[in-house]
Amino acid sequence: MPKRNHISEEEVIEIQKARKNNKDKNIDKRLEALLLHAEGKKRADIAAKTGFGKQYITELVEKYQRNGLAYFVQKHYKGNHRNLSVAEEEELLEPFKKQAEAGQIIEVSAIRAAYEEKLGRSIENSRGQIYRMLKRHGWRKVMPRSKHPKKASNEAIEASKKLKLSSEANW
């Protein structure tokens, strides 16, 4: 009777070829765990060598039996979990771009409201998400400064006014 979750010699050769052609370290660790299992190593030894938990090793072998090698050589985690595509974001920002070119002040809360309206739901980390979207499209935060950096202090202004009044009195 064959051993449960047994990996045949042909499958071992196939896994070794896949490991040789692989460049992703996470995929390599999963393939290494499969090879160690095929050699008859115990789960505790495989866990110590790969850093996986013993239960995860069992799950890996079962997933290999169900889905085959193709499941292991693909990347499982993909980036770019955006709500809108880049084109949709550009379309959303177009009216705000026109306002900015006209010299009007644009607040992020207005962009957030338009974003949520387009999605049809609220977004959680809204400020960060909106600022990342603006950065993606080349926007930058430009604010009018509250005062000139070289403005004189209030005491110096008052002293200047007193000097001006006294010089006008002398005329």
Crossing angle for the helix pair 25-38 and 43-50, nearest 10 degrees?
A: 160
Higher pLDDT, 134 or 74: 134
Say what the pLDDT of residue 125 is.
65
Mean pLDDT of 137-152: 80
What distance in Å separates the CA atoms of residue 28 and residue 16, rounded to the nearest whole number?
A: 10
What distance in Å separates the CA atoms of residue 33 and residue 25, rounded to the nearest whole number?
A: 12
Helix (H) or strand (E) holding 15: helix 9-21
Kindly give, in sequence order, each residue whose CB lies less than 8 Å from that of residue 102, ignoring residues fewer than 6 positions away. none
Say what the pLDDT of residue 162 is.
78
CA 38 from chain centre, in angstroms, equals 37
94-133: per-residue pLDDT in tens?
A: 999 999 888 888 888 899 999 989 988 888 766 688 888 8
43-95: per-residue pLDDT in tens?
A: 999 999 999 999 999 998 998 888 888 887 777 666 656 788 889 999 999 99
Size of the chain in residues: 171
Mean pLDDT of 136-162: 82
Q: How many CA atoms lie within 13 A of 20 on its CB side?
A: 6
